[in-house]
Chains A and B, each alone.
Chain A
Amino acid sequence: MKQLTAATRARYFRRQLVDRVMGGLCIAAAGVGLILLALILWMLFSNGLAGLTLDTFTKPMSQPGSGGGLANAIIGSLLQVGVGAMIGAPLGMMVGVYLSEVGKESRFASIVRFVNDILLSAPSVLIGLFVYQIAVLPFGGFSGVAGSIALALIAMPIVARTTEDILRLVPQAYRDGAIALGSRENEVVRKVVLPAAFGGILTGILLAVARIAGETAPLLFTSLGNDIWSTDMTQPMASLPMAIVRYSNTPYPEWVSLAWTGAMLITVGVLVLNIASRFSYAAVAGKQGG
């Protein structure tokens, strides 16, 4: 080290400088991201908690000054997201199983995979418009069902993709073992491959649910929203994202405050789903490994 020539030393210092600058920039970028996230969350929670009362959960939306809550929007979101997931998740799983276990590299499977990828990245407003054409116009009005269908169409490609990815991680040795024991193809999938991949698929479903819970655009043309308490899925139905849109653009401080509260509830819900998906994966993986 003592014998460094001038040129080598200059190069050494230049590299050290570049290293320090780049490292500093990375830390700064991460810091900006973290600060923004913290600001968003702080704004969300300080504004959201202000409007949070028991009434939020027990009373439906009502006129400003009459002390309404978000009960109808909460139940509407739960219903539409629940039904949407119940339609979208099984369909997505079936597509994923087909791609990984049956179609594999066949031509048809490649087409399905390609179309699924397009659906995955399609703007959600487009999906809303599509469902408006097939499930709102022909039936003469907005409905919770139409909202669920739109949400299902968003969840399905996500679940299909994660299912396929997870199934491909299942070792071929499991399949060979089951086939060598005289299992038919469907038994191999049902009894060995799917159980082995259960944790991962569940994680994918939870993440898809988290995604559709915050969707607004597809509900705009489908379930529209509803100011009164209603659990009839054939009628227009309230939802938290639509309630936020409706309340935040008003001059009434009470409504604006409730919009913040709604946004906070969605965020907390999504956070819980994300944490749950991590735990579900760890729990299932742990059970199989131990």
Chain B
Amino acid sequence: MVAAMTTDTQQPAARTPRTTPMAAPTVTATNATAKPTRIRLEHINAFYGQKQALFDVNLDIPDNTVTAFIGASGCGKSTLLRCLNRMNDTIPSARVEGAIRMDGTDINSPEIDPVQVRTRIGMVFQKPNPFPMSIYDNIAYGPRTHKLYGSKADLDELVEKSLRRAALWDEVKDRLNKSGLGLSGGQQQRLVIARTLAVSPAVILMDEPCSALDPIATAHIEALIDQLREHTCIVIVTHSMAQAARVSQRTAFFHMGKLIESGPTDQIFTMPKLDQTQDYITGRFG
């Protein structure tokens, strides 16, 4: 199969010079200093009923780094992402085996309260999902739930700080009491990111956060992700190779529930160790 593809006369250039960087994506990050590991995945197997969705995944996710999960539809990227904040607990048929170590504790162990995990690890979904309430109340939701503030002034400050960090403050500061549903798609996604930031998570998971957005809104979010990296560990699922190359410093490639290859993004995109990865990245994949 691979041999046949190598001799494919339609796309001769992409395969041969493995050391040449791809034309389209410009790889921004150089990973000179490796960051300390934030989350360590050990032998993760995930099941939906009888069906196994993840097979023995082992992966270190470093802090202050954007890690991209890439791979074809149905390969288990979202499933793995949902393992990290125990969202799979909400699916009755789902079962996750293995250890997910964060600060020395296994957050996948049944003794750990998933609610605790989710306050440390935030999540942004594919479709922006602001609550049907005011912009202010959307941001204040997490702090109110977890009593993270003393006075009303504290909360005001926290709301402003979160909106500023999500680069949304200037656009909404005059309409904080208006519904969050009245914002554009891109603004809604930044609102949701601000809502997540308001509880100061150590890790933010993003499942295809730009797939419902136009290119300009996407550029906004990508710039934002790059800033957030300074204080958080970010894991992003994306179907766009260009986006993975633009925003991430590390990339993990999955295929049919298995982690095929992971490493610094520039290396994965320019000289992957495995043909399978190369084929997917260059778009010659099933």
B248 at the interface (CB under 8 A from A): no
Question: In the complex, given contacts A173-B125, A176-B87, A287-B179, what are 13 additional A-B residue pairs having Cβ atoms less than 8 angstroms apart?
Answer: A174-B132, A178-B141, A180-B87, A180-B196, A181-B142, A181-B195, A181-B196, A182-B116, A182-B145, A187-B145, A195-B133, A289-B132, A289-B179
A112 to B199, CA, bound (A): 39
A184 at the interface (CB under 8 A from B): yes
User: Is A196 a contact of B132 with CB atoms below 8 Å?
Assistant: yes
Q: How far is the CB of A107 from chain B (nearest CB, A)?
A: 13
Number of chain A residues close to chain B: CB under 8 A: 21
B90 at the interface (CB under 8 A from A): yes
A179 at the interface (CB under 8 A from B): yes
**Nearest CB in chain A to that of B144: its residue:** A191
User: Is B145 a contact of A191 with CB atoms below 8 Å?
Assistant: yes
**Contact A180 to B179, CB < 8 A, known contacts A187-B145, A191-B145:** no
**Nearest CB in chain B to that of A184: its residue:** B115
Q: How far is the CB of A98 from chain B (nearest CB, A)?
A: 17
A157 to B141, CA, bound (A): 33
User: Is A288 a contact of B118 with CB atoms below 8 Å?
Assistant: no
**Nearest CB in chain A to that of B115: its residue:** A182
User: Is B179 a contact of A179 with CB atoms below 8 Å?
Assistant: no
User: Is A288 a contact of B179 with CB atoms below 8 Å?
Assistant: yes
- How many A-B contacts are there with CB distance less than 8 Å? 70
A205 to B182, CA, bound (A): 28
B152 at the interface (CB under 8 A from A): no
B99 at the interface (CB under 8 A from A): no
Which residues from A are CB-within-8-Å of B127? 173
A140 at the interface (CB under 8 A from B): no
A179 to B82, CA, bound (A): 12
B51 at the interface (CB under 8 A from A): no
A288 to B137, CA, bound (A): 12
Q: How far is the CB of B120 from chain A (nearest CB, A)?
A: 9
A134 to B199, CA, bound (A): 53
Q: How far is the CB of B14 from chain A (nearest CB, A)?
A: 38
Which residues from A are CB-within-8-Å of B48? none
Q: How far is the CB of B94 from chain A (nearest CB, A)?
A: 14
B123 at the interface (CB under 8 A from A): yes
Residues in B111-135 with C-beta less than 8 Å from chain A: 115-116, 118-119, 122-123, 125, 127, 129-133
What would be 30 A-B contacts, judged by CB atoms less than 8 Å apart?
A173-B125, A173-B127, A174-B132, A176-B90, A176-B129, A177-B125, A177-B130, A177-B195, A178-B141, A180-B87, A180-B122, A180-B125, A181-B142, A182-B115, A182-B118, A182-B119, A182-B142, A182-B145, A182-B146, A187-B145, A191-B141, A192-B131, A192-B141, A195-B133, A287-B179, A288-B132, A288-B179, A288-B181, A289-B132, A290-B179
Q: How far is the CB of A183 from chain B (nearest CB, A)?
A: 6
Q: How far is the CB of A190 from chain B (nearest CB, A)?
A: 11
User: Is B133 a contact of A181 with CB atoms below 8 Å?
Assistant: no
User: Is B118 a contact of A177 with CB atoms below 8 Å?
Assistant: no
**Contact A195 to B132, CB < 8 A, known contacts A180-B118, A287-B179, A289-B181:** yes
Q: How far is the CB of A9 from chain B (nearest CB, A)?
A: 53
A171 at the interface (CB under 8 A from B): yes
A196 to B119, CA, bound (A): 23
Q: How far is the CB of B115 from chain A (nearest CB, A)?
A: 5
What DSSP secondary structure best describes chain A's contact surface? helix
User: Is B129 a contact of A181 with CB atoms below 8 Å?
Assistant: no
Binary interface encoding of chain B residues 178-193 relative to chain A, with 1 for a CB under 8 A from any of its CBs, else 0:
1101100000000010
Which residues from B are CB-within-8-Å of A179? 87, 90, 118
B79 at the interface (CB under 8 A from A): no
Q: How far is the CB of A166 from chain B (nearest CB, A)?
A: 13
Residues in B133-172 with C-beta less than 8 Å from chain A: 133, 141-142, 145-146
Which residues from A are CB-within-8-Å of B131? 174, 177-178, 192, 196
**Nearest CB in chain A to that of B128: its residue:** A173
Give which listed residue, A171, A191, A195, contacts B129 with CB less than 8 A.
Answer: A171
B278 at the interface (CB under 8 A from A): no
Binary interface encoding of chain B residues 191-213 relative to chain A, with 1 for a CB under 8 A from any of its CBs, else 0:
01001100100000000000000
**Nearest CB in chain B to that of A170: its residue:** B132
**Nearest CB in chain B to that of A175: its residue:** B90
B65 at the interface (CB under 8 A from A): no
**Nearest CB in chain A to that of B85: its residue:** A180
Which residues from B are CB-within-8-Å of A183? 115, 145
Which residues from A are CB-within-8-Å of B130? 177
A288 to B181, CA, bound (A): 7
Binary interface encoding of chain A residues 155-179 relative to chain B, with 1 for a CB under 8 A from any of its CBs, else 0:
0000000000000000101101111
A290 to B178, CA, bound (A): 7
**Nearest CB in chain B to that of A198: its residue:** B132
